C-alpha cells in the first residue's frame, strides 16, 4: 500500500512539473507530505492549471501540433460534441489568455452553431482507411477524399464543392478539427446553403479578436 501511495504522489508531481508554473492556486487541505505541503494543494495546483473556463482540456490541447494523432487513430466516425478551437502557437494562446480565451471562443461559437442548426444529432465526420471521407453538417451530406499529414496535424478535404485544410488536435474526449475562420465559413455555407448570413459573420469576427485562433468542431467517437 505504501508503494502505491508513493507511486501516486510521484505521478502527480511529474504531471505538475510538466504543466509548468501554474501559480499559487490555494490548497484543498488534507494530509501533509514530507515537505509539509498538503496532498490537496498538489492536486488543486495540477487540476487548477489544466481546467479553466468550463473546460477540462490541457492547455496544450489548444495548440496545433502539440497533441497529435496518427492516421490509424483518425480513422472511424467522429460525432459533433461542441464548438472547438485551437491556436497556432503556445505564444499566441498565452497572449490571448490561455484556456480562458479558448472558453470564450467556444461560448461565442455556440449561438452561431445553434442558429445555423448544427447539433449532436446531425453533424459528424467519418474517415476511411482508404482515404475517403463522408460527413454530415446539419444533415447536409458531404463526401470525397482526404489526406492527413500528422507532422503538421493537417487534414485536407477534397469534394466537388471545395477543397479545405483543417487541423486535428487531440482533446480529453476525442479530437478537434479546426479551420481558419474564412475556410470554416466556406464549409458552413456550402453545407448549410446559407450565404450572407449575419450569424456566420461572427465566425470571421472571432479571428480578429483572438489572433492566431482556428475554429471548428470538437468530436467524439
Q: Is the pLDDT of residue 93 over 50?
A: yes
Residue 23 is classified by DSSP as: -
Cell numbers at 17, concatenated: 512539473
**CATH number, domain 71-220:** 2.40.128
- Spans of all domains in the chain: 2-50, 71-220
Query: Is 89 exposed, middle or buried, given 0-12, 13-18 or 19+ CB atoms closer than 10 A?
Result: middle
Question: Cα(62)–Cα(98) distance, rounded to whole angstroms?
Answer: 9
* Confidence (pLDDT) at 14: 35
Q: What percent of the chain has pLDDT over 70?
A: 65
Enumerate long-range contacts of 45-51, CB under 8 Å, 24 or more apart.
45/16, 46/12, 46/15, 46/16, 46/19, 46/22, 48/22, 49/16, 49/19, 49/20, 49/22, 49/23, 49/25, 50/19, 51/99
The string of pLDDT tens digits covering residues 152-204 is: 999 999 998 789 999 999 988 999 999 988 888 777 776 666 545 566 666 76
Lowest mean pLDDT among 1-5, 170-174, 213-217: 1-5
The string of pLDDT tens digits covering residues 45-85 is: 333 333 343 443 566 667 888 778 999 999 999 999 999 99
Amino acid at each position: 500500500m505504501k508503494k502505491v501511495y508513493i507511486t501516486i504522489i510521484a505521478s502527480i508531481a511529474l504531471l505538475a512539473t510538466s504543466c509548468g508554473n501554474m501559480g499559487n492556486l490555494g490548497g484543498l487541505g488534507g494530509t501533509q507530505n514530507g515537505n509539509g505541503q498538503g496532498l490537496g494543494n498538489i492536486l488543486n495546483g495540477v487540476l487548477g492549471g489544466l481546467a479553466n473556463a468550463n473546460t477540462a482540456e490541457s492547455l496544450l490541447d489548444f495548440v496545433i501540433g502539440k497533441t497529435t494523432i496518427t492516421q490509424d487513430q483518425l480513422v472511424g466516425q467522429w460525432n459533433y460534441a461542441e464548438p472547438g478551437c485551437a491556436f497556432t502557437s503556445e505564444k499566441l494562446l498565452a497572449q490571448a489568455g490561455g484556456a480562458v480565451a479558448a472558453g470564450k471562443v467556444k461560448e461565442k461559437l455556440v449561438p452561431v452553431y445553434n442558429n445555423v442548426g448544427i447539433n449532436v444529432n446531425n453533424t459528424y465526420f467519418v474517415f476511411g482507411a482508404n482515404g475517403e471521407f463522408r460527413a454530415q453538417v446539419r444533415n447536409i451530406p458531404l463526401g470525397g477524399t482526404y489526406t492527413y499529414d500528422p507532422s503538421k496535424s493537417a487534414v485536407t478535404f477534397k469534394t466537388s464543392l471545395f477543397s479545405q485544410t483543417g487541423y486535428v488536435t487531440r482533446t480529453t474526449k476525442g479530437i478537434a478539427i479546426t479551420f481558419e475562420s474564412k475556410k470554416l465559413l466556406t464549409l458552413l455555407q456550402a453545407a448549410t446553403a446559407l450565404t450572407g448570413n449575419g450569424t456566420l459573420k461572427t465566425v470571421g469576427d472571432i479571428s480578429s479578436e483572438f489572433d492566431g485562433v482556428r475554429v471548428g468542431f470538437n468530436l467524439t467517437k
